[in-house]
Amino acid sequence: MKKKAEILVVDDDPDITDSLKIILESHDFTVRTASNGKEAIEALEDQIPDLMILDIMMATDTEGFDLAYDLKENPKFKNLPIIMLTSFLEKVREEGPGNFAYILGEQWPAHWLFEKPLDTNRLLDKIDDILNESP
């Protein structure tokens, strides 16, 4: 029997984590959740998932971005696929790019970015693509 892929969902919005957990579990994934960067690190230290879905803006506007960047710099986690979620693009449009120069000026620590509200079919397709890629 094939092992279920495990996904760690990190978002400070319980509606997002709860809905993603329901959607992902209904597609036969094992799901763990965390509501901030500290909880995410604890969950990662406990067990590295097959993939992480990470919100950019949590306690700070860059908490998820900073976490992803730190993980990519750590040899233990550098190969962990990370899909980033954000309302960031809308916030940049509303507030202007100056407030987000730190994020905009950095190399992104994830290859996949989904804007909220999520198109869950696209997200599920991307998760399947990532998990089915050859290592």
Q: Which CATH fold topology does 6-132 show?
A: Rossmann fold (3.40.50)
Q: In the predicted model, is pLDDT for residue 60 greater than 70?
A: yes
Q: Where are the beta strands (DSSP E) in the chain?
A: 6-10, 30-34, 51-55, 82-86, 112-115
Q: Model-level pTM? A: 0.88
Cβ atoms of 52 and 8 within 8 Å: the answer is yes
Greater confidence (60 vs 54) lies with: 54
Cβ atoms of 102 and 109 within 8 Å: the answer is no
Q: In the predicted model, is pLDDT for residue 134 greater than 50?
A: no
Per DSSP, 48 falls in state -
Judged by DSSP in three states, 116 sits in coil
